[in-house]
A and B are shown apart, each in its own frame.
Chain A
Amino acid sequence: SAVISQKPSRDICQRGTSLTIQCQVDSQVTMMFWYRQQPGQSLTLIATANQGSEATYESGFVIDKFPISRPNLTFSTLTVSNMSPEDSSIYLCSVGSRRTDTQYFGPGTRLTVL
């Protein structure tokens, strides 16, 4: 399976600011995804990061709040914009294998908004 890294691993931010999270994979992958895991809850898909085109967002998530870039097949960023305390979560990127449909997850970014 691919090795996935995320930066930063954690951050504490002030209300109203923005944070960009990076996801780097050690091999080229077709599918990359961004998830949110709020305290005590399960994973919720934010969007699919598409290489060379706009991300596909799930219901309840919009591009203005969570802009995503995917400049190539090994890298993606998720920005959490105009943050509020409700955005405090773990943000996870994952990559998918078309052959097996299995997704592999990065270590996550723990975000706390004050």
Chain B
Amino acid sequence: EDQVTQSPEALRLQEGESSSLNCSYTVSGLRGLFWYRQDPGKGPEFLFTLYSAGEEKEKERLKATLTKKESFLHITAPKPEDSATYLCAVQAITTSGTYKYIFGTGTRLKVLA
């Protein structure tokens, strides 16, 4: 069964304290892996797409990496405004041959000033 697992569920960091969020997946026919940021009461905001093992993407203090089994979202010197829930999703092939997203449950990040 296709599955996406994110860890930790919640993370509290001091401002400037770097860390990593994990997204592990088991899926047949991976087409892409996506990272989103979701603020309370809002829809997910797209961050990155990764397609193949070894690929890396960066945006400001965030860097996403991908292996064959998992992805990491590295946060360098975070600031309080980085506080949000970070969602990981994989795009997998369905039994009917179409593609759909499977989301993890997210990591709630809180950065303290």
Report if A and B associate in a common complex.
yes
Q: Which residue of A lies closest to B43 (CB)?
A: A105
Q: A101-B91, A106-B43, A108-B43 are in contact. Are A42 and B31 (CB under 8 A)?
A: no
Q: How far is the CB of A15 from chain B (nearest CB, A)?
A: 24
Q: A42-B105, A42-B106, A43-B103 are in contact. Are A101 and B44 (CB under 8 A)?
A: no
The majority secondary structure among interface residues of chain B is strand
Partner of B46, one of A1, A45, A107, A108: A1
Interface status of A24 (Cβ within 8 A of chain B): no
* Total residue contacts A-B, CB cutoff 8 A: 49
Known: A92-B44, A101-B91. 14 other contacts (CB 8 A): A1-B46, A4-B43, A42-B106, A43-B87, A45-B100, A94-B43, A101-B32, A101-B49, A102-B34, A103-B46, A105-B46, A107-B42, A108-B43, A110-B41
Q: Across chains A and B, which 9 residue pairs bring their CB atoms closest together, nearest first?
A: A105-B43, A42-B103, A42-B105, A43-B103, A108-B43, A105-B44, A107-B43, A101-B32, A106-B43
